[in-house]
A and B are shown apart, each in its own frame.
Chain A
Amino acid sequence: MKHKPRILIADDEEGIRESLNLILDGEYELIFAVDGEEALSKINQDLFNLVLLDIKMPKLDGLEVLRRLREAKLRTPVLVLTAYQSVELAKEAIKLGARDYLPKPFERDQILKAVKGALLN
């Protein structure tokens, strides 16, 4: 039986988690985190093929999560999702090791394509 790729979705907004669940459910095994601390804890405890990470989260924001992943030399690919439209933020996220930067609101096909691309690499 083929194992489905495991994707961690870290976002404090229930609406976003449910939206991504709608888009990705079936093809992938989805695990959720509601803040940066929970996301980091889960990444440290378990293996994931991909992380979808929001920037603005309580306790620990997305950029800090990226920073700590880089320090720990964890190579889990990360796609950053955010409602902030900031070139500086995008550059910072990529500099910290994110594979890609996706704006909100997102297109279903855009998410599917980005996830497939990140998993292939």
Chain B
Amino acid sequence: MDLNFFRFITLFSSLTLFPLAIFIFIRNRSSSIHRSFAAFVLLCATWVFGFFLTMFSQVPYSFALWSSRLSQLFGFLTPIAFLNFVVTLIGFKKEAKVHHIHWIMSSVVPPIMLSSFGVSAVPKKLFFPYYPEAGLLYIVLLVPFVFTYGSAFKLLYQEARNSNYEPSQRQSYATILIAVLLAWVSVATLFLPIYNVYVTPQLYFFPLIGIATIYVILRYQFLDIRIILRRSLVYSTLVAGITLINLMAILVMERWFEGIFGYRSVLASLMVAVLIAISFTPLRDWLQRQVDRSLFSATPAELAAQKEQLLAHIRQGEQLKAVGTLAAGLAHEIKNPLASIKTFTEYLDTKYTDPEFREKFKRIVGGEVERMNLIVQQLLEFAKPSPPKLVAVEVPRLLDDTLELLNNDLLQRKVRVIRSYAPTPPVLGDSQQLKQVFLNLLLNSLQAMNGSGQLTLKTDIRGSELEITIQDNGHGIPAEDLPHIFGPFFSTKPTGTGLGLAVVQGIVKEHGGRIQITSEFSKGTTVSVMLPKCS
């Protein structure tokens, strides 16, 4: 290790920690946890940056002295900042008195450190051009440095072991604890030369504070900071990194070869390049797996499985919601007939002799029972439509057969029917079920038209499908009702179960087709049914 190494470590650490502190603060400045952690990181950054500034012999002595004092000041305030963060993080109220003691102890740091009682001079030590020398009271400040950090480590350790937390939360605490602890051990070695113990400080672990914080943010959304890291970006960076290392390896090998044999060998370089090429793919794959495990919680295959599971949960939730809606609708449709039947049977013994009552009883009670039966029947059809018996059917013929059934209604309502059947191939379908579909749709159209309306029936080919269009100029459907039109028990008519279109949609889907309704209120409605052609 030489001076350049320390310059690199301190500069790298401060360049990581300064933006990290700002980032954490900006993400949620109203959160006391964010503020306290940002303060701790900022103090670490200023401490190490101040140390960096003293590593250049070109700076004047007085500048180096004050840089050193300020750096030491910020460094000695990091214990209370870290403790404050830990206490805020865990909402620790019990030991408020202890917390106050640490604040009181830390209050003596600024006046001591900014005077010669803290850092008395910055002589040359080891290979450092300037290095702080302890003043008379420097050792006093070591007490809170050790004691306050110790309290914070103890608290964080207890929280990391607390099984009430989620595993990811505990992992975050453990990671931060280990990183800060190792950094603290690293920094502790800085004190040795201060007391003229000439052992080179071991600052390797100091950058861990920044690296660990970034890691827990990305991996565990530490401090609720969520960053979507593109997997492709990480992989690209990884590949670029491996390539760079490999290039450097080739250069180093060339120099080493030259150093030993006195000349550069193209053959040696080629051999190195071949070795690198062979090891590149396995190394890249291994590193990607480690990145997946550490940053993305799972491999792509595991993520796909998790996604499928999540989708299944969502589908189940939607199904339950649909069942709930269906149950509510069914309850409503059944309760009305029940109310009538209940009241009429309650009056049966007192009004039995009244012929008018008997007539109403027969009509209404009988009608309501039939109605409930129809609802149950349609519900069964809706819930489990019978599988269609597929044969080649001519759709125009089915439409004409259905119109025949409605002949009387058409005449009575004076509805004009226009047929426009293009030459179309047959479709594979169940003729009875398709007639039911057309009957439902045509009845809806008739009911929407109040006399002298026009009904247009068309068939046409659309690619691999046959399109059947039923268009009327009735009162149309309000725009706000259109999204619900196929929902069970949804009806805009005074009579009806509200299951007709739901059943129609079910039959069309069973035939591999689809249905679409467009409408303009008071202008008319167009229903398009698409069925796959016979191949």
User: Which residues of chain B (323-368) have a CB below 8 Å from chain A?
Assistant: 328, 331-333, 335-344, 346-347, 351, 357, 360, 364, 367-368
A105-B338 in contact (CB<8A): yes
User: How many Å lie between the Cα of A64 and that of B310 in the bound state?
Assistant: 40
A22-B347, A35-B494 are known contacts. Are A15 and B332 too (CB-CB below 8 A)? no
B492 to chain A, nearest CB (A): 7
User: How many Å lie between the Cα of A121 and that of B316 in the bound state?
Assistant: 49
B332-A83 in contact (CB<8A): yes
Question: Which applies to chain B's interface (DSSP): helix, strand, loop or mixed?
Answer: helix
How many residues belonging to B are interface residues under a CB distance threshold of 8 Å? 25
Of A58, A84, A85, A108, the contact of B494 (CB 8 Å cutoff): A58
For residue B493, CB closer than 8 A to chain A, the reply is: yes
User: How many Å lie between the Cα of A80 and that of B493 in the bound state?
Assistant: 21
Across-interface contacts of B341 in A (CB, < 8 A): 15
A48 to chain B, nearest CB (A): 22
For residue A27, CB closer than 8 A to chain B, the reply is: no
User: How many Å lie between the Cα of A86 and that of B329 in the bound state?
Assistant: 12
A19-B344, A22-B347, A35-B494 are known contacts. Are A84 and B339 too (CB-CB below 8 A)? no
For residue A92, CB closer than 8 A to chain B, the reply is: no
B375 to chain A, nearest CB (A): 13
User: How many Å lie between the Cα of A83 and that of B341 in the bound state?
Assistant: 14
Across-interface contacts of A104 in B (CB, < 8 A): 335-336, 338-339
Across-interface contacts of B351 in A (CB, < 8 A): 22
Give a binary string over A82-121; 1 marks a CB under 8 Å from any B CB, 0 the rest: 0111100000000000000001111010000000000000
A56-B337 in contact (CB<8A): no
For residue A33, CB closer than 8 A to chain B, the reply is: no
A19-B340 in contact (CB<8A): yes
For residue A14, CB closer than 8 A to chain B, the reply is: yes
For residue A47, CB closer than 8 A to chain B, the reply is: no
A58-B492, A84-B332 are known contacts. Are A106 and B339 too (CB-CB below 8 A)? yes
Interface residue range, chain A: 20 to 34
Across-interface contacts of A19 in B (CB, < 8 A): 339-340, 342-344
User: How many Å lie between the Cα of A58 and that of B344 in the bound state?
Assistant: 25
User: How many Å lie between the Cα of A13 and that of B371 in the bound state?
Assistant: 12
User: Which residues of chain A (54-75) have a CB below 8 Å from chain B?
Assistant: 56, 58
Residue of B nearest to A83 (CB): B335
Of A16, A35, A85, the contact of B339 (CB 8 Å cutoff): A16
User: How many Å lie between the Cα of A13 and that of B491 in the bound state?
Assistant: 14
Across-interface contacts of A15 in B (CB, < 8 A): 336-337, 339-341, 364, 367-368
Across-interface contacts of B333 in A (CB, < 8 A): 83
B336-A13 in contact (CB<8A): yes
For residue A29, CB closer than 8 A to chain B, the reply is: no
A9 to chain B, nearest CB (A): 13
Most buried by A among B333, B337, B340, B346: B340
A22-B347, A84-B332, A108-B346 are known contacts. Are A12 and B494 too (CB-CB below 8 A)? yes
Across-interface contacts of B340 in A (CB, < 8 A): 13, 15-16, 18-19
Residue of A nearest to B337 (CB): A15
Residue of B nearest to A108 (CB): B346
User: How many Å lie between the Cα of A18 and that of B363 in the bound state?
Assistant: 11
Across-interface contacts of A22 in B (CB, < 8 A): 343-344, 347, 351, 357
A84-B328 in contact (CB<8A): yes
A105-B342 in contact (CB<8A): yes
A70 to chain B, nearest CB (A): 21
B336-A16 in contact (CB<8A): yes
A46 to chain B, nearest CB (A): 23
Across-interface contacts of B336 in A (CB, < 8 A): 13, 15-16, 83, 104
A-B contact list, 30 entries, CB within 8 Å: A13-B340, A14-B364, A15-B336, A15-B340, A15-B341, A15-B364, A15-B367, A15-B368, A16-B336, A16-B339, A16-B340, A18-B344, A18-B360, A19-B344, A22-B343, A22-B357, A34-B494, A56-B332, A58-B492, A58-B494, A83-B331, A83-B332, A83-B336, A85-B328, A104-B339, A105-B339, A105-B342, A105-B343, A106-B343, A108-B343
Q: Known pairs A23-B343, A104-B336, A108-B346. 20 more at Cβ < 8 A?
A: A13-B336, A15-B364, A15-B367, A18-B340, A19-B340, A19-B343, A22-B344, A22-B351, A22-B357, A56-B332, A58-B492, A58-B493, A58-B494, A83-B331, A83-B335, A85-B331, A86-B328, A105-B339, A105-B342, A105-B343
Residues of B within 8 A of A (CB): 328, 331-333, 335-344, 346-347, 351, 357, 360, 364, 367-368, 492-494
